[in-house]
Structure 1
Amino acid sequence: MKTKILVSACLMGHQVRYNASAKAQLTAQLRRWREEDRLVVHCPELAAGLPVPRLPAEIYEANGDDVMAGKARILESDGSDVTAHYQLAAWLALRTALEAGCRAALLTDGSPTCGSLVIYDGSFSGQRRSGMGVAAALLGEHGIQVFSDTQLPALIAWIEEQEYDSVQTGL
């Protein structure tokens, strides 16, 4: 059985980032997976009704799991609290992934939603730090293997291992 992958829409060329840009990384592998109907292209922020463009938003002095637990906030650069929008974005990403049978996610790093290795520190100074965004944290908590856009080789290896194991066990 072919592994389904939730993938950030901006990585597939959709101009849905906060500044109405894309972060396209259409590698040969992503094109092949798209042709094999493995990819579930999704923008959590757009699904939650956030506009494009929108103000930059950062998790204030915390991580995505703290935000999902109600212990931290996500603020826009003008100080507006948009925590509820981003929590909804995370839940919608999880629902989309589960309904489509995704076992992995390839997400845009740095985002307060999709960051899986790094996020911005909440100061709007361009400083990044280790951490996960809200969707990355929630997906991981529910057993979906999360990879950053910088970890495509690791995702490829993980999928090959999963599919090899399923062939060996007959699952």
Structure 2
Amino acid sequence: MQRLAVPFTLCAVWFMAAWAIERFWLGALCVGCAGVFGFELSLNAQELLKLTTGRVSAVVLVGVPLAAYLLVLIPYRNLASGGHWADAVRLWSRPFFWLAMVFVFAWVGEIAVSAMAGLLPDGFRAYADGYRVALSGTALGIREVAVSGRFGAFLGVLLGLYLFLSRGLARPA
């Protein structure tokens, strides 16, 4: 678990920095640029946890760190070596894959819980209805997209974020 402390802290700090960049710098300089690919996330877990983010630019949140990571991974000493480039591409694509898996796990979790809704006891269904996950945003500044889920999506997001941090960002053990 200690291996996840650094990636979790860096992701949390970067999320706050990306939100501040969006809110105070990018939003003030270029209003049209800020809404190109932006989203809001809302998590609600049984009145214990209520987390709602402001609109954050996906370009700043995801694009900037992955572009910087790409620049770090370029094999400057061996530019002609195909093996070094293959390793760099493999390392660079790993966070993309596990970030995409967050959404896949949320989707699969929501489908699984929805499919089993008739088999679950009434008490569990009442408990599960207290969980909400909502992601809304704009694509290309024009199209509003909204996705929401309940207990299964919440569990999928938690599992996906754990795997993103442990396998996508943390150094291999």
TM-score w.r.t. structure 2 length?
0.25
- Of the two structures, which has the highest relative contact order with CA contacts closer than 8 Å and spacing of 6 or more? 2
Q: Which has the higher helix share?
A: 2
TM-score normalised per structure 1: 0.25
